[in-house]
Amino acid sequence: MFGRSQLIAGLFLVLSAKAIAQPAPPKPCGPIPSANQLRWQKMEFYAFVHLSVNTFTDQEWGNGDEDPKIFNPDKLDCRQWARIAKEAGMKGIIITAKHHSGFCLWPSKYTDYSVKHSPWRGGKGDIVGDLAKACREYGLKLGIYLSPWDRNSAVYGKPEYITYFRNQLRELLTNYGDIFEVWFDGANGGSGYYGGARETRTIDRKTYYDWPNTYKLVRSLQPKAVIWNDGGDRADLRWVGTEAGNVGETNWSLLNDTGDVPYNMLHYGLEDGNAWVPAEVNTSIRPGWFYHAYEDTRVKSLPQLMDTYYSSEGRNGALLLNFPIDRHGLIHETDQQAVLAFARAVRQTLAVNLASGARATASNVRGHAVAFAAQKAIDEDPASYWATDDSVTTASLTLDLGRPITFNRFLVQEYIALGQRVKAFTVEAFAGDEWKRVTAGTTIGYKRILRFNAVTAQKVRLTITSAKACPLISNIGLYNAPQLLNAPAILRAQSGEVFIRPADPESQVYYTIDGTQPGTASPKYNRPFPTDGKVTVRAIAYDPISKKASPESRETFDISRRNWKILGADPKSIYAIDGDPGTAWQQTKSAKMPLDLVIDLGKEEIIAGFRYLPDQGWPAGIITGYEFYVSMDTTRWTLADKGEFSNIRNNPGWQIRTFAAVKGRYLRLRALRNTQNNDAAGYAEFDVITPDEIKR
Ligand code: FUL
């Protein structure tokens, strides 16, 4: 008989023999995430809220001279924001504690330009404090946006401002508990109130803020926070180069530590970057970041939000989704419904992982060890992973599902704690008696999700076709997402012909032009149809098999553009009024700012506003400063409006301007400046608004 001690010794021997047989885990490959970055990456989805004095003036950027008395969000309720974020599956909320206007949502000691001097709660309120409390109650993390640009501060542009900025940062990072992210916006310098100076101040984005010392302050006050910065020194997280809600299909979580990253590479990261700087995709649930009642009908639809999801979280990015807080201090009901429907659809998509329970085998397993076996990719433990031998960078993993299963989504995750490795992969299905390619991708990173038409197969194979080092796959998912019908696109050519384009070619389209809701009893769209003058077209796409309809799309067109002529311009100028946002006219020839777009309407009209859509392709000629004139004869012009299109660089959507109605036959949109400070003006579309125009 063995004694107890012999038994233990025997057991120890067996265990240590096993331990010796175990190959060591792979060495890190290239830069790896810090503990803060790893923790942040797992948050995946969190909210932005934008609120400031400009919420009450309908501007995207406050000028800094708005009277604090206009700030009165009479029903402000941070618990409502937190409840919605929580229900939507978000993990935190980042608040614009101070936006470019300089107005502070907390009673900062260092300025009078804050809630203290607003009528809201008699000047006794603190929105950052309220939100911190609400986040604690709902188990959410709190993040702070503090705009480096301050259009109110008299000392902006001078060294004293940096002290002021850091004092405010210290208040925010000291008085409100744990902060998970600090957001330093890159929009910087320009015109402003600046304590009454009302001038343009420019700063050197690289040196002015002395970021290294500001980062030190953040690290000392909030050691667990991640820093976002697109303006100056490299931070922990990067901007993706657009606010449209997507990051590149190829998305490396890497950048270079020093030196400038070419603007367009923010979208993709750098394969050989020497620093870990993962992507955060920031976008708003509406076209603007701040609340405008005229955007109540432009809240992103479910298909648009799903596209955003697959192009952000599905491409190795985190999703920071903004709610513009309305004038009552609430998330608008429509936004609430939109985000909750979105969250539901994501949950439904990922409800059942059809890969769990499969039998997994691999072409190579690191040291033949159980610890790195193929099965580790479907064991639902994010800390375990399938790994190959160090020398192997091409390998495949096969899942046998036991019976034919239908799926249309493929999810895959790398074990990023040891670096991002995979450069390219394919997914195949064994259907009939051969392997067929289902889809393919480039980078994976923390999480990659691919969409494709449903396939039915018993075996699925992931092949890593290229990697920087042995691949480490921590998770694989197969899902059968319920069908989503996209709202069709509605366009009107200059001729007045209306085109309706459904996203899925096989779906049917029904439409109305009489203001009624479209349904299957409405006219069916077969070909473009003519219209003339003002009309609202409403349309749905419909799948006769599932009997499901898409969300409705609705476009309101103003007076006919049939007889319009652009004067003194090259033939391509027609693209500015052809009704197709996909085509644009770039007015660059021999030109110097100011540049004029002059239109002959063909007859006298009453003009009460205009709409401008910049080039939707490469960001050139995006007009910021403008004047708008109307004339009866092209000799005497009346200035009807002037101003700036705020934030148009990052968010180049439709710009809508209305003014007191003016009569005339000729229009002149004068571009004074563009986002690149050169002499180009580009137009994807230009249209007018006439007085009795129905809701915008
Ligand atoms: C931009 C700002 O200029 C916008 O107003 C908004 O805050 C967005 C998140 O960042 O750079």
How confident is the model at residue 18, as a pLDDT? 47
Beta bridge partners of 406: 456
- Listed residues 524, 557, 590: the one ending a domain: 557
| Ligand 1 atom 7: residue of nearest CA | 289
Look at residue 29 and tell me if it is in a domain. Answer: no
Q: Do 664 and 529 fall into the same domain?
A: no
Whole-number mean pLDDT of the chain?
A: 93
pLDDT higher than threshold 70 for residue 505: no
Look at residue 34 and tell me if it is in a domain. Answer: no
Q: Do 341 and 363 fall into the same domain?
A: no
Q: Do 182 and 315 fall into the same domain?
A: yes
**DSSP string for residues in 453-517:** EEEEEEEEEEEEEEESSS-EEEEEEEE-PPP-PPPPEEEE-TTSEEEEE-SSTTSEEEEESSSSP
CA distance linking residue 599 with residue 602, whole number of Å: 9
> What does the DSSP 8-state code read for residue 372?
G
> What does the DSSP 8-state code read for residue 634?
S
Q: Which residue has the higher pLDDT, 121 or 265?
A: 121
Look at residue 4 and tell me if it is in a domain. Answer: no
pLDDT higher than threshold 90 for residue 503: no
289 in ligand 1 pocket by Cβ < 6 Å? Answer: yes
Q: Which atom of ligand 1 is nearest to the CA of 96?
A: 7
Looking at residues 22-36, what average pLDDT do you find? 96
Q: Do 392 and 519 fall into the same domain?
A: no
Looking at residues 475-499, what average pLDDT do you find? 92
Conformational region of residue 420, where left means phi above 0, alpha means psi within -120 to 50, and beta covers everything else: beta
375 in ligand 1 pocket by Cβ < 6 Å? Answer: no
Looking at residues 262-279, what average pLDDT do you find? 90
How confident is the model at residue 694, as a pLDDT? 41
Domain CATH for 623: 2.60.120.260
282 in ligand 1 pocket by Cβ < 6 Å? Answer: yes
Look at residue 32 and tell me if it is in a domain. Answer: no
Query: 51 φ, ψ to 5°?
Result: -155, 135
Comparing CA positions, the residue from 200, 446, 203 lying closest to residue 317 is: 446
Contact assessment for residue 595 and residue 670, using Cβ atoms and an 8 Å cutoff: yes
Q: Looking up tokens 């040291």, which residue turns up?
A: 367
At position 359, the amino acid (one-letter code) is: R
Q: Do 440 and 507 fall into the same domain?
A: no
60 in ligand 1 pocket by Cβ < 6 Å? Answer: yes
Domain CATH for 85: 3.20.20.80
Q: Do 146 and 222 fall into the same domain?
A: yes
646 in ligand 1 pocket by Cβ < 6 Å? Answer: no
Cis peptide, bond prior to residue 278, ω within 30 of zero:
no
pLDDT higher than threshold 60 for residue 350: yes
| For the chain, percent of residues with pLDDT exceeding 70 | 94
183 in ligand 1 pocket by Cβ < 6 Å? Answer: no
Contact assessment for residue 286 and residue 651, using Cβ atoms and an 8 Å cutoff: no
pLDDT higher than threshold 80 for residue 462: yes
Q: Which atom of ligand 1 is nearest to the CA of 48?
A: 9
Q: Which two tokens stand for residue 398?
A: 């096969």
pLDDT higher than threshold 60 for residue 170: yes
Look at residue 22 and tell me if it is in a domain. Answer: no
pLDDT in tens, 646-677: 888 778 889 999 999 999 999 999 999 998 88
CA angle 617, 619, 621 (to 5 degrees): 110
How confident is the model at residue 14, as a pLDDT? 46
How confident is the model at residue 554, as a pLDDT? 95
162 in ligand 1 pocket by Cβ < 6 Å? Answer: no
pLDDT in tens, 400-419: 999 999 999 999 999 999 99
Q: Which two tokens stand for residue 226?
A: 């991640």
Look at residue 96 and tell me if it is in a domain. Answer: yes
Give the mutation target among 57, 145, 240, 243 for probing the ligand 1 site: most ligand atoms within 8 A of CB: 243
CA distance linking residue 240 with residue 251, whole number of Å: 10
pLDDT higher than threshold 90 for residue 544: no
CA distance linking residue 196 with residue 193, whole number of Å: 5
Full 3-state SS string of 5-34: HHHHHHHHHHHHHHHHHCCCCCCCCCCCCC
pLDDT higher than threshold 70 for residue 526: yes
Query: 499 pLDDT band (50/70/90 cuts)?
Result: very high
Q: CB under 8 Å to 308, separation ≥6 — which residues?
A: 245, 246, 281, 283, 300, 319, 321
Q: Which two tokens stand for residue 604?
A: 């006298």
- Listed residues 479, 506, 528: the one ending a domain: 479
Distance from the CA of 283 to the center of ligand 1, in angstroms?
A: 10
| For the chain, percent of residues with pLDDT exceeding 90 | 83
Q: Do 156 and 284 fall into the same domain?
A: yes
With H, G, I as helix, E, B as strand and everything else as coil, classify residue 208. coil
Look at residue 21 and tell me if it is in a domain. Answer: no
Q: Which atom of ligand 1 is nearest to the CA of 50?
A: 7
Highest mean pLDDT among 76-90, 248-262, 264-278: 76-90
End-to-end CA distance of the chain: 89
Element (H, E) at 501: strand 497-501
| Ligand 1 atom 8: residue of nearest CA | 289
CA distance linking residue 94 with residue 453, whole number of Å: 36
At position 134, the amino acid (one-letter code) is: A
Distance from the CA of 404 to the center of ligand 1, in angstroms?
A: 48
Distance from the CA of 624 to the center of ligand 1, in angstroms?
A: 15
Q: Do 161 and 216 fall into the same domain?
A: yes
pLDDT higher than threshold 70 for residue 11: no
Q: Do 383 and 415 fall into the same domain?
A: yes
Q: Which two tokens stand for residue 534?
A: 């003002």
Distance from the CA of 576 to the center of ligand 1, in angstroms?
A: 27
> What does the DSSP 8-state code read for residue 314?
T
How confident is the model at residue 563, as a pLDDT? 96
What is the total residue count of the chain?
696
647 in ligand 1 pocket by Cβ < 6 Å? Answer: yes
Query: 3 pLDDT band (50/70/90 cuts)?
Result: very low
CA distance linking residue 19 with residue 485, whole number of Å: 53
Query: 231 pLDDT band (50/70/90 cuts)?
Result: low
Q: Which two tokens stand for residue 511?
A: 């439409």
> What does the DSSP 8-state code read for residue 441?
E
CA angle 344, 384, 91 (to 5 degrees): 35
280 in ligand 1 pocket by Cβ < 6 Å? Answer: no
Q: Looking up tokens 């923390």, which residue turns up?
A: 446
pLDDT higher than threshold 70 for residue 136: yes
How confident is the model at residue 16, as a pLDDT? 47
Q: Which residue has the higher pLDDT, 31 or 263?
A: 31
Distance from the CA of 236 to the center of ligand 1, in angstroms?
A: 18
- Listed residues 441, 456, 479: the one ending a domain: 479
Contact assessment for residue 73 and residue 131, using Cβ atoms and an 8 Å cutoff: no
Give the mutation target among 289, 320, 651 for probing the ligand 1 site: most ligand atoms within 8 A of CB: 289
Q: Do 107 and 88 fall into the same domain?
A: yes
At position 286, the amino acid (one-letter code) is: R
Q: Which atom of ligand 1 is nearest to the CA of 186?
A: 11
Q: Looking up tokens 């219209």, which residue turns up?
A: 531
CA distance linking residue 555 with residue 495, whole number of Å: 16
Distance from the CA of 322 to the center of ligand 1, in angstroms?
A: 10
pLDDT in tens, 285-303: 998 999 998 788 789 988 8
Q: Do 182 and 232 fall into the same domain?
A: yes
How confident is the model at residue 696, as a pLDDT? 36
CA distance linking residue 478 with residue 450, whole number of Å: 10
| Ligand 1 atom 6: residue of nearest CA | 289
185 in ligand 1 pocket by Cβ < 6 Å? Answer: yes
Contact assessment for residue 308 and residue 243, using Cβ atoms and an 8 Å cutoff: no
Chain centroid to Cα 317, Å, comes to 10
Look at residue 26 and tell me if it is in a domain. Answer: no
pLDDT higher than threshold 50 for residue 315: yes
Q: Do 159 and 272 fall into the same domain?
A: yes
Q: Which two tokens stand for residue 408?
A: 């249309």
Comparing CA positions, the residue from 351, 300, 662, 315 lying closest to residue 481 is: 351
CA distance linking residue 339 with residue 343, whole number of Å: 6
Comparing CA positions, the residue from 562, 552, 559 lying closest to residue 515 is: 552
With H, G, I as helix, E, B as strand and everything else as coil, classify residue 214. helix
CA distance linking residue 257 with residue 235, whole number of Å: 9
pLDDT in tens, 559-599: 999 999 999 999 999 999 999 998 999 987 667 899 999 99
Domain that holds residue 277: 42-349
Q: Looking up tokens 């018993």, which residue turns up?
A: 458
Least-confidence region, from 361-365, 395-399, 430-434, 628-632: 430-434
Contact assessment for residue 331 and residue 323, using Cβ atoms and an 8 Å cutoff: yes
Comparing CA positions, the residue from 371, 450, 369, 451 lying closest to residue 415 is: 371
Beta bridge partners of 440: 426
Distance from the CA of 679 to the center of ligand 1, in angstroms?
A: 24
Conformational region of residue 278, where left means phi above 0, alpha means psi within -120 to 50, and beta covers everything else: beta
230 in ligand 1 pocket by Cβ < 6 Å? Answer: no
Q: Looking up tokens 């020497």, which residue turns up?
A: 274
Domain CATH for 549: 2.60.40.10
pLDDT higher than threshold 90 for residue 383: yes
In the chain, the number of structural domains is 4
Q: Which residue has the higher pLDDT, 402 or 486?
A: 402
Give the mutation target among 52, 61, 185 for probing the ligand 1 site: most ligand atoms within 8 A of CB: 185
